[in-house]
Every structure is written in C-alpha cells, then in structure tokens.
Structure 1
C-alpha cells in the first residue's frame, strides 16, 4: 500500500512538474509562433503611425537612442521575413518624423526595428485585437516632442488646430472664429468631416476605390465652394490620409466654434443594388431603419479599425458636450431636411426623410 502511494506520489509530482514546465515556457512558445503578415506606415503632418500585423499577439520592447535620434522596437519570438525586410521601403521622403527605417534579426529570438528620426518625438505604442479582417496589430504612433499631453498627444494637438495643422492650407491670420452671432457678426463656421483615413479605409469598391479617398476629395471641393460665400467659412477635420478618432474630430469642431458639423461618407451596404444618397442626424434612441442601424454599426466600428489608444478614454465625456442635446438634434433634423430637398434634385434618395442613427461621437 505504501509502495503504491509512493508511486502515485511520484507520478503526481512528475505531472505537477510537467505542468509547471509547460506553463513556464508557453509564453515563449506562443511568441515563437508569431508571424508578421503586414507592415504599414502612415505618415501625416500631425503624427506618423507604424502598424505591425501578425497572426499572434506580439511581445515587444521599445527604447530610444541618441546621436542620431532613433526609436528602437524589439519584437520577441519573431523571425525576420520578407514582410519585415520590406519595411524600410515604405518610408516616404515627405514623412515629417521618420528619416529611415531598418530591420534585422538581433538574436535568434528577437527582430529589431530601428527608426531614424527627423525630429524629437514622443512614441506611443499599444496593441489592437483582431477586428474587421485585421489580425493582431501592434501600433506605434510618433508624435512631435512638443505635444503637451503624454497620455493623449493627439487630443493635446487641438491647441494648435486653429493654426490649421491638419489642413496645411489655413493662413495664420484666419485662426479660430470669434464669438458672436453666426452670419451677422462673424462667418457661419462649417466643419467638414471626411470619414475614415489612414488604417481605416472605409468601404472598398469593386475596383478597389477606397471610401477614405473619395470623401476627402468631396470635402475639398465642398470647402472651396463654401469659402466662396462671403459669410461662410469651412474647416476640415482632416485634409490628408490620416486616422483621426471620432471624438477628436468633434473636439476640433468645438475648438473652432463650428455652427455645423457635416460628416461625409460613401458607404457600402450588404447588397450592391442600392444607389443614391441619404442624410442622417444623431439619435439618442437608436436607429430609424435597418439601413440606419447598419450605418451606425459600421461607423461606430471606425475607431476599432483605425486604432485608438485606450489612454485617451478620460476625454470621452469632454468631447460630447451638446452634441446629443435635444435642441441640437432638432436643429440637425431641420437642416438635414433642407439638404435632402436639394439633393433630391440631383440624385436618387434612399429615403424621403432624414434618418437617425446612434453614432458614438
């Protein structure tokens, strides 16, 4: 009996040791299986984003080097492949932050990415879970070193938006509008919001036409028409291929004291049959139709696709202000009806009424 107990104890001890050994090496095993499937670089005047996409969560380490200024990112449990080798070729000459990039197998378990910089930066790294066809993503955003808020440097840059940083076409003399009655004491300020951008391409057409490009061109043309009016002034939430979180777009509009916020989209649908135009306003009670519900679902996923760092969550409430107040929604419905009537003269309409969707701006 004692012999059997002794054998059983030894077996349990060996089983326990085996379990402990598996637990200790399983993170390494998972990391070793990670394979990088895509690397994308999105330069913009506000910040540059580097995205590394892989089939498993990436374990990483980031640090800085000087003389010259560099940002180094080590990817553990990764082997160098053709995707990573091609990263340097994605750096554009007009990138305001990255001068060059190189990548190599630092040791058998580590791939090292080195980014030589054009200016001092504040890097921000975070991971994104799989969504909308994307696998695991490691995101590195490079912000200018003069960003005043380390936790959310993109929102901190709102202090400079009046200078036209995201537009690059607004002269300094035309900084933010002054208080007063719109149209009488000051121009009516309209914030044009071309949807998506950067990592978030929006809908993709049959011939690979991307929504983010189409709506940007529409917004630019619309701004030119608005600015020809003597009592109106248009601004844009973005004027380049850059991802701007939804709530930062709204915050910029509020910073400019915008009287009207117009978001422009060229949406896809579950069927290729529908064609035409729709006008939507915010809703606090949900969607008014299946199409409105579909729109809300796709647009509210934009931040997940584009990639938002969770560090900025404390700003969420501050960017809402009066966007969902009943008076604001009533005015939006009134204006939307006028727009719908004009659009009906030049295009098919999906609905003869302004629809509403619970968009989380």
Structure 2
C-alpha cells in the first residue's frame, strides 16, 4: 500500500514539476507569416507558449519594432518574405534574454498593440496589425513612444582579468543576434563563422600568457556599434581587432581572400566604401534608435585627429598582412581603408579583418575548417607579438607613445 502511494505521489509531483520546468524555458517561435493587403497587413508569430511583446516605431528609415523578452526563434524557420506594406522583416536575438522582430517599410506605418491569443494546448499566437499613416501622425507617434535604452540592453560589458601590465586585446566578432551578416549559399552565417574564429584567436592569445583579451560578444547576441567601441575604450585596450567575412554576388564567386581595413574618412576604393556602408548599417538592421548618433560620430571624428592612433593602426595592418599571408589566402588588394564605425576610436589602434568571402566555395571551406582557424589564429598571434615587440621598442627609444 505504501509503495503504491509513493508511486502515485511521484506521478502527481511529476505532473506539477514538468509544467513548471517548461514554463521556466523561453517560448519558441515556430512560424511567422504575413497576411493582408496594402490597406492592412498583419504579422503573425506562432509560438509553443505565451510571451509578452511591445511595439514601437523608428524613422530614417521607417521601421516597426516588436520586442519580445525571453523568446527564441526556431533554427529551421524559413526566410521571411515581403508583403504589400512590408519591404522586409527579420528576427533574432538582440541581447541575452531579449529578442526582436524588425519590420522595414518604404512608407510610414501605424502599428497597433500586439495581440496575444493562447490556445487550449498551451501554444500561442502574437499578431500585430500594420496600416499606412501620414508622415505627421507617424512622427507624433515617434515622439510619444518609449525611448529605447540600447546602452542598458546591450550585452553585459566584459571586464578584463589578469596582470595589469599585459597588453589588452579587444576582439570584436562582427554581427550577432538579429544581425546575421553575410550568408553563404549553403546557409552558413557570418555571425557564427566569425565568432568561432574569434574564440580561436582569443584562446591562442591567452595561451601565450602575454596578453589579456576582452571579447565584445562571446555568444549569439547583438551589440550596437558604438557599444563595441565603448567596450574597447572602457577597458583601455591596446589593440582592437574586428573580425568579419564578406560576401559578393553569385556572379563573383572567383572573388576571394582576406582583406585588412584601417580607418579613413575617404575610402581607398569603391568596394571598400560599399563594404563600410553595409557594415555601418548594423544598428539599423537591429532596430536601434540612431537619433543621437550624429553628435557621437562628430566627436569621434574630431578625436581621429590624434595622429598616433592612425600610425599604430596602419603599422599593425602592415604587420598583420606580413604575418598571415603565408597561412591565409589574401585578396588581390589586401590593404584598404574606409569609414567603418567600429574603427572610430580615438586612442585604440584598430583594424577590421575580413577573413574571406562567404560567397566563395574555396574561402568558405577554409572559414568552416577548425584546422584552418587554428593555423590562422597562430599567424595572427605572431603578428600581435611582432606589433607589441616593435611598439615597446620604439617607446623605450623615445619614439611616439
């Protein structure tokens, strides 16, 4: 009798505990779709459980943003399609425990508050209705809407550890979260490729025992561009390396190889200018409010008058090229410059390394190879060694410091 009661108790406890365990997990978005016409369009999210949502709008360009705390998107979701009022939409992680859907439009839209419907089986639907509106009405809504605090919601700023006298390297894996970056024809994402490489480089640098390393992100979360620069400056970094992987159109598959970029107000060529324009759109892609950006950019550009940082950035770029060209296939024009936002730090030597092209089968094979990552990370570590050895030597001889 006692044994039967014990079994019954365990079964009843399991019935209570299991739902509680499920409730602790974030809801999963299993499908998305657009319904309607040019007069009214509805975006519907199918979820395996209920979730809260809030909506706000942004201008320049017109965007409707749906914030979804503690929601994840199923990895097998199809690519979002456009609709009569929607030029494009995308979704993904914006910060740990926070996801987002960003809806692009060519015209101002009004957005009703999200509606949550819960089915008997526990699954749920979140829907948001969109309709055309006037510019005046849109701007009024924009002024009355909640101010988005990106600095607070960005990934927690990492702090450096270790002996203070060791040079500190900030490694910046490009993109992340809702901003996936370039995509290969086979579905590989730039944000994943560069994060894997950045981790390999971090581990190799730390293994020498000569450096401290801070990552701007170490997971699949979005970090605003100015936050990436802030992480380097707040940690008093001695070197900033931003890691990316470019992509070209399908007709340019023969274009391949790594490229090293430094900052310049005037791009070295049209391709560099176009790449910088694309990379600098990361905050727009993620639905970040850029209202305060012009002042920020202006102050940084003034700081760029500091010649020392430019000199050291150029010196490291040349050192890096000399070190990695034996282990990494280089682009035919490997040293370039353009106005990348993440390189606009007044006091931290900075470079942006495009590891290769996701659109090139040959490059992609290397980019997704663990053995190649290890070789390339070793070559880059040698470049860092050479850079700091030469820099310390010039400073001890009374050079620029």
TM bin, normalised by shorter chain, reads: 0.5 to 0.7
SS in 1 for 2:258: coil
Instruction: Work out whether 1:33 is the aligned partner of 2:12.
Output: no
The match for 2:287 is 307
The match for 1:341 is 322
How far 1:152 moved relative to its partner? 5.5
- Which residue, out of 179, 187, 190, partners 1:200? 179
Instruction: Work out whether 1:103 is the aligned partner of 2:99.
Output: no
The match for 1:291 is 271
SS in 1 for 2:212: strand
Q: Is the alpha carbon distance of 1:279 and 1:40 closer, same or farther for their aligned partners in structure 2, counting shifts above 3 Å?
A: closer
Question: Whose Rg is larger?
Answer: 1
Per-residue deviation, residues 212-256 of structure 1 (Å, max 9, x unmatched): 110011111111111112220111111112221211110111111
How far 1:194 moved relative to its partner? 0.8
SS in 2 for 1:204: coil
How far 1:305 moved relative to its partner? 2.0
Aligned 8 A contact 1:251 1:319 in 2 = no
The match for 1:355 is 336
Q: Which structure carries more relative contact order (alpha carbon 8 Å, separation 6+)?
A: 2
The match for 2:135 is none
The match for 1:262 is 241
Q: Is the alpha carbon distance of 1:229 and 1:152 closer, same or farther for their aligned partners in structure 2, counting shifts above 3 Å?
A: farther
Q: Which runs of 5+ in 1 are unaligned?
A: 1-28, 63-72, 90-100, 111-126, 128-137, 139-149, 164-169, 179-185
Q: CA RMSD in A?
A: 3.9
Aligned 8 A contact 1:197 1:243 in 2 = yes
Q: Is the alpha carbon distance of 1:291 and 1:155 closer, same or farther for their aligned partners in structure 2, counting shifts above 3 Å?
A: same
- Aligned partners of 2:325, 2:43: CA distance in 1, in Å? 48
Instruction: Work out whether 1:278 is the aligned partner of 2:285.
Output: no
- Aligned partners of 2:108, 2:148: CA distance in 1, in Å? 24
Q: Is the alpha carbon distance of 1:323 and 1:216 closer, same or farther for their aligned partners in structure 2, counting shifts above 3 Å?
A: farther
Aligned 8 A contact 2:94 2:177 in 1 = no
The match for 2:110 is 59
Per-residue deviation, residues 7-41 of structure 1 (Å, max 9, x unmatched): xxxxxxxxxxxxxxxxxxxxxx9985223275865
Q: Is the alpha carbon distance of 1:157 and 1:317 closer, same or farther for their aligned partners in structure 2, counting shifts above 3 Å?
A: farther
SS in 1 for 2:185: coil
The match for 1:145 is none
Q: TM-score, normalised by structure 2?
A: 0.52
Q: Is the alpha carbon distance of 1:320 and 1:232 closer, same or farther for their aligned partners in structure 2, counting shifts above 3 Å?
A: farther
Q: TM-score, normalised by structure 1?
A: 0.57
Q: Is the alpha carbon distance of 1:310 and 1:45 closer, same or farther for their aligned partners in structure 2, counting shifts above 3 Å?
A: closer
- Aligned partners of 1:43, 1:158: CA distance in 2, in Å? 11
Aligned 1:221-232 pairs, distance under 5 A: 221-232=200-211
The match for 1:161 is 157
Aligned 8 A contact 1:36 1:53 in 2 = no
Aligned 8 A contact 1:283 1:324 in 2 = no
SS in 1 for 2:275: helix
Aligned 8 A contact 2:95 2:223 in 1 = no
The match for 2:33 is none
